[in-house]
Structure 1
């Protein structure tokens, strides 16, 4: 299957159950085979037509509310960009064989948005389960009994919708608190004497998918040296933000007294072993000697830093990679490697949200990063950081947060 493009049109037509695609103006864009079968309509009867011209309310029923309820649900989806589950609806359909005669039908609809690159709703997925036979098998509510049942189900659905709204609001508040906590704990670039530094943090799309990633920049003792690190905590939200803060602070302190980055990560790994929530956390740290023009580095399960040389060549620092921080029951000394650079080179550290994508090899993401760095190799760090994020992050935002540090050496 990986060698063959998936025919999503064929997949749509084969979907079990009734599914239609509507424009935000409620015009039928497409319908699947089950939709045509269950409604008794042809594709020509529906595609290109306004929803309620194709399926108006029963004019013989003055109490009919199906059209109004469905329109309200679809408009909510367009306005909020969120899925809307409707209560059971009685929505009579005019008979194809006997025009003018209306058949009593019961439907259970779900409406969902399809978002464009700008985050706006471009299509509506209208999925319907026809439950008329189920209702009849349970005694066939008609007249006032049917209306009471519809009203009760609609009330329950609205109560569930309101509960979901409150949960989303609570999650949004937690996201705001977590982001504020992260911003307070992450260091400003002025904390190092080296001025040609750009730092970026981009939270993930979603209420709680934030606060696992961190970065750190410190002046090292002895000589004209700086330490640059990034890391990633498994998990999201306030708990991850707390663990992130503990690990960042521990590595910052260890880097100031360690002989090298391998020893600093060794200390951090021993500390992570006793921190709840630090399981499988990753980190990479570099010690940059600006006088000797060398970079010593060590990685604990983290994507390799990239070194952009002045001639446009990109070198990934991947010769000292070890498992994540708390991967071993008994921590052992971490490996360390060293490389040289010439003045004008650029060191780039990042977290996996920048390069990793589902169902894609990590090397594809690293190749994209290298290509972006080469194309923007003459930019200053601030411009380069923005260009890399623009090139590599999806237009609608990534599903994982991203930290990025760019240092001109």
Structure 2
């Protein structure tokens, strides 16, 4: 199951030696198992000696040490980490990686391993720096990810034993808890309808874009359970990569629309993406067939972000550019993103459920994001009949 996880993933011992690495990690790093397993991390991947300003090793070492010291996950910003070419010794390839380091604890709470997961974003960063045809480069990169993640998803579908362990690993790898550098209070809640699994077709994501800009998104894949979770992981990863280099949420969803057409099970998925900018107190958003995000101002007034709504991903016969819109917000407002499991009920018009959500969000707007999220689930979702994801961000 570890080998089948999507993305580059390795297991490190507390002295930072490789205990294991999955196929994707070895393939992307250009190394064999013999060159990696049992060796010290920074002997395998040292800093480029020809670059006196290289910081990749130092930053990664500091992140791993924080995990070992605190026993808590550490998510790093995108790092430049040059890698020596295995075919051309002495030649260093410019690479950009986005690492996440997660502790594996024993029964006593001691860190016995570190799960080191890396997103390869080299092509995206270089495309942005070169100001070339960004969408063409993104599409090529995302097509590569589609093939890799489809392979991983096929392995997961074939696994009948240990399904819960796989689901837990998927949830940890695909849906990490939010860590915003801006320290704005935020809460996420994730409730699959299938009791025996901890993942489903819904997703959420929060990304620091700059010192005062954050991308927030939620989405929903058709179906339930592990198969839907595999598709979810592909779409979430693709939107995360596109959001980092696109000009806005409409362009990011435009790229995702093209990508979803190549992913079996990705058609008719829905998503909403919002860029929060604290410099000028604006929200820029775009919606792909998803229920509208909700903005609750400090005075209790509620706005539905529904002025830029397009069809679900891959639903139109022909590709069309997507729309986006912008609104301003006041200090201490609340942004709420959610999936349709929170508002849909059998035999009831969806507008009734949306009105119920608006009333509850306005009534509890002064609560902390965590308490507000819990109240919404408690009042609107007494039992999980559909997958549900909720993101609450205090502005």
For normalisation by structure 1, the TM-score amounts to 0.55
Structure 1 residues 180 and 400, CA, compared in 2 at 3 Å: closer, same or farther?
Answer: farther
Matches of 2:224 and 2:181, distance apart in 1: 28
CA contact (8 A) 1:179 1:211 kept: no
Question: Which SS does the other structure have where 2:313 is aligned?
Answer: coil
CA contact (8 A) 1:187 1:217 kept: no
Structure 1 residues 374 and 277, CA, compared in 2 at 3 Å: closer, same or farther?
Answer: same
Matches of 2:331 and 2:236, distance apart in 1: 29
List per-residue Cα deviations over 1:116-135 (Å, max 9, x = no partner): xxxxxxxxxxxxxxxxxxxx
CA contact (8 A) 1:262 1:335 kept: yes
Alpha-carbon shift at residue 210 of structure 1 (Å)? 4.9
List per-residue Cα deviations over 1:315-374 (Å, max 9, x = no partner): 110011111011023321111011110100000000011111111111111111111112
Which residue of the other structure, out of 286, 299, 303, is the alignment partner of 2:287?
299
Higher mean C-alpha displacement, 232-241 vs 286-295: 232-241
The equivalent of 2:47 in structure 1 is none
- Could you tell me which runs of 5 or more consecutive residues in structure 2 were left unpaired when the two chains were aligned: 1-158
Structure 1 residues 235 and 279, CA, compared in 2 at 3 Å: closer, same or farther?
Answer: same
CA contact (8 A) 2:194 2:224 kept: no
The equivalent of 1:400 in structure 2 is 386
The equivalent of 2:265 in structure 1 is 277
Matches of 1:264 and 1:313, distance apart in 2: 29
Residue 297 of structure 2 corresponds to residue 335 of structure 1: no
Residue 230 of structure 2 corresponds to residue 242 of structure 1: yes
Structure 1 residues 286 and 201, CA, compared in 2 at 3 Å: closer, same or farther?
Answer: same
The equivalent of 2:206 in structure 1 is 217
For normalisation by structure 2, the TM-score amounts to 0.57
The equivalent of 1:289 in structure 2 is 277
Query: 1:105-124 alignment to 2 at 5 Å?
Result: none
Alpha-carbon shift at residue 249 of structure 1 (Å)? 0.8
Matches of 2:317 and 2:355, distance apart in 1: 34
Matches of 2:197 and 2:208, distance apart in 1: 33
Higher mean C-alpha displacement, 231-240 vs 296-305: 231-240
Question: Which SS does the other structure have where 1:328 is aligned?
Answer: coil
Runs of 4+ in 1 over 2 A off after TM superposition: 170-180, 191-195, 205-210
Alpha-carbon shift at residue 291 of structure 1 (Å)? 1.1
List per-residue Cα deviations over 1:86-120 (Å, max 9, x = no partner): xxxxxxxxxxxxxxxxxxxxxxxxxxxxxxxxxxx
Alpha-carbon shift at residue 192 of structure 1 (Å)? 4.4
- Could you tell me which runs of 5 or more consecutive residues in structure 1 were left unpaired when the two chains were aligned: 1-169
Residue 243 of structure 2 corresponds to residue 255 of structure 1: yes
The equivalent of 1:321 in structure 2 is 309
Which residue of the other structure, out of 358, 363, 385, is the alignment partner of 1:375?
363
Structure 1 residues 266 and 371, CA, compared in 2 at 3 Å: closer, same or farther?
Answer: same
Matches of 2:394 and 2:161, distance apart in 1: 37
Structure 1 residues 359 and 194, CA, compared in 2 at 3 Å: closer, same or farther?
Answer: same
Question: Which SS does the other structure have where 1:377 is aligned?
Answer: coil
CA contact (8 A) 2:194 2:225 kept: no
